Structure 1
């Protein structure tokens, strides 16, 4: 039960990061250059999640063909979903742009939830690191979404309602993934991680960066933002893993000390 509440809390973090970015977009004047930079930073963070956390776990525990197949399936799932959104959007009139933006972000946050739920089925420490990384990435994403909605003339009340609803998608998918995978074979858990890696990679390269290029032509600042995003996640990941490792070591030491005291008293 303790793990369940922890997963609920972790899965809400990316949505809250998205919400915080949206609030900043409401309060700060948005420029195409700033939008370009924030999306490059978000892309760097997402690539960092894949390269530093997801793929090493898969490489250590799966055969190469399983990794290739599940990664490709994740990428294909994202592309298929994007095609479906475009088809639905083109069939609608009036609020089609609003619909497409909303569904795209909802799917992205659902992917975050899938990643956190899958990671928690492998190890709680992995879920904590993944949640931290996605929260960092979702802040600039939330900023860009609300900024785009403002440019399209969507009323503020609707923009706020949209931002508030996003955490629910991440929470729901995290719980589904955790309940399905917590007692599953280890191979299934790592296949799911590789699947999410494929999904996130396509999202970062084809979605975030494409939107960044549409907002404003790239500059050296864009490149620095991408590299900085990757480096920031690397630092966060290393710091959290060190802290969690020290905590685990303290718990292990306390347990050993307790056993030794019991043996001493028994003697």
Structure 2
């Protein structure tokens, strides 16, 4: 059987979806009407080979306009136009069209539709199974390729998997690779809390001390700074600390270096 015929059966499967939907385009509690007409390019896998075809799908009514310059789908036997909710095309030719509902079901965040072809179609024994899962967008999004099985080419099964937000009655799952919305900011841990307490506490201490000096003791200018004497000497204290550290490091180097143990006999040049 030609790959194009397999794709045609895929189109038939989509037609079945429309058949499952009732007059107001609902399948159970799911409203499929916002999906509209969708043109999909999908590969069909059959007996280790794959081929690319185009499907035009409208879950709420027959597809009457073919994609690009392709000829409109007609039955291979009777020659009559085969309106289908799903039609399958090669580059310029119609392969098949399916529109006979044989079964459907709706569950939690999922739905399925089974389709068959009419008796005057080119493949009346082909069966299509369409599986819809909760997704991120309204438009049908294919999941994998069309999988075709069956030993008899006259009676094949076509499995289609799509996602759409129209079958979501729970929380919409995040897309692959990460969450959809803005990421939650990391929680403040123990170190973060310590830093906040220290800086906020120091700020409050300075403000309270300045107000106390100003109101209660009548101080003005630099006298309002808490521990003003300490801050005046702060630069010199830093300098002394650096000098002290350098001297200690030099002493350690001399004790462990090539002149270690020579004591006062070694002099720096």
Q: Tell me whether the two structures share a fold, i.e. TM-score over 0.5.
A: no
Structure that is richer in strand per residue: 2
The structure number with the bigger radius of gyration is 2
TM-score by length of structure 1 reads 0.23
Structure that is richer in helix per residue: 1
TM-score by length of structure 2 reads 0.23
Larger RCO, structure (CA 8 Å, separation 6 or more): 1
